[in-house]
Homo-oligomer: A and B are copies of this chain.
């Protein structure tokens, strides 16, 4: 038996007045998800624990069976893995943007007018050494880049140079403890800030941009330092081969962290325009040589964070339509769930549990016939923890060993 784990990011919501008290998921027409609910077993799930508002990183670790208390080392390494940078144990990883600053280091735009490539910027700094520490800088989508410090005696316990607002100066990176390693890491990052301005300001791309009235990308802004500590892979833990189909970089990063193969799907953007049919097609293809395929849809979270219930509902319907392409799979477990709740009324993540359905041959069905936050709460899975989900899937696949004898 194979399995597909569908995560609809930030799917969970709260009652919405314009939907007469229904959530976007309850208001959406979801014939395919409802078919899964009717033929499967349903429940609600705290991806971390009751009352805990999960980040997208910690919740996915949990869904892949890694306790974030042990295996979460900050967002940096997961973002960097998402870009596809090969990491070594101990690398210090940060998320980076190319932005625009005035000569006095006041930030004018954190994204340099949404500059569409950081390739030249990365080339200008990638491979340089500062105080014996190797700088690795690789382009990601648009104005984004992945920054890695590789060397001895480094610490992730440092601040950032990105104040996350405009009109203020680029920050000095501070060590967050008194260790030599934190001080050294902060010093390297501060030298990198200066070096970035020197190297970036006269890049051909910036001359071109300035000539056409666009903002130059003349500063590297970074945040979210974390140390890369390898985790045991799904293959090492359970003997299974897994693949990931996702648009967003973070999700590819978490997938790589647990040893999934990331399938490149043209059109999978992680944005509202993402080509879900292409993603579902890629999932089906990946099932040929993988035991489990993780399919990640991002748009529900984005619509929640935009505070747009109508758009969230539409995105759910778009996802449902694409998921229809998976219903004919034979001998395959289909699990549909979310990583957390993102209420449109809050525009940010929230703590409430998410619905979960597992449809598979042999599963003990329940009375639930619609996939929703409240309908699934009446299902046979009751209320479960995210950390348990992968074990339930793999146990139903029959790949987990007997505990005891």
| Residues on A facing B (Cβ under 8 Å) | 14-15, 21, 23, 44, 48-59, 68, 72, 74-75, 224, 343, 345-346, 348-352, 362-366, 373-374, 377, 380-385, 388-396, 398, 400-405
Contact = CB atoms under 8 A, between A and B. Distances in A.
Contacts of A224: 405
A28 to B, nearest CB: 16
A400 B51 contact: yes
25 contacts: A15-B364, A50-B384, A50-B388, A50-B391, A51-B388, A51-B395, A51-B400, A52-B391, A52-B395, A53-B395, A54-B404, A55-B405, A56-B404, A57-B404, A58-B403, A68-B403, A75-B404, A224-B405, A343-B362, A364-B373, A364-B374, A377-B382, A382-B382, A383-B383, A383-B384
A102 to B, nearest CB: 29
Nearest to A58: B404
Contact of A362 (B14, B50, B54, B402): B14
A59 B405 CA distance: 10
Contact of A402 (B15, B53, B404): B53
B395 A365 contact: no
A393 to B, nearest CB: 8
A58 B400 CA distance: 16
> What DSSP secondary structure best describes chain A's contact surface?
loop
A57 B396 CA distance: 21
A405 B374 contact: no
A15 B365 contact: yes
Contacts of A389: 51
Contacts of A51: 388-395, 400
Max chain B Cβ within 10 angstroms of own Cβ: one of A51, A380, A403: A403
A44 B54 CA distance: 24
The 4 closest A-B pairs by CB, nearest first: A55-B404, A51-B391, A58-B404, A351-B395
B54 A403 contact: yes
Nearest to A351: B395
Contact of A377 (B380, B393, B403): B380
Given A44-B382, A366-B377, A395-B351, A53 B405 contact: no
A49 B383 CA distance: 13
Contacts of A50: 384-385, 388, 391-392
A139 B395 CA distance: 37
A55 B402 CA distance: 6
A15 B48 CA distance: 31
Max chain B Cβ within 10 angstroms of own Cβ: one of A54, A365, A391: A391
A380 to B, nearest CB: 5
Nearest to A55: B404
A403 B57 CA distance: 9
A382 B383 contact: yes
Contacts of A74: 405
Contacts of A398: 346
Contacts of A343: 362
A404 B364 contact: no
A405 B405 CA distance: 41
Given A54-B404, A56-B405, A352-B364, 7 more contacts: A14-B362, A49-B391, A53-B401, A57-B404, A57-B405, A72-B404, A381-B383
A400 B398 CA distance: 39
Contacts of A364: 14-15, 23, 352, 373-374
Max chain B Cβ within 10 angstroms of own Cβ: one of A44, A72, A348, A377: A377
A49 to B, nearest CB: 7
A176 B57 CA distance: 39
A362 B55 contact: no
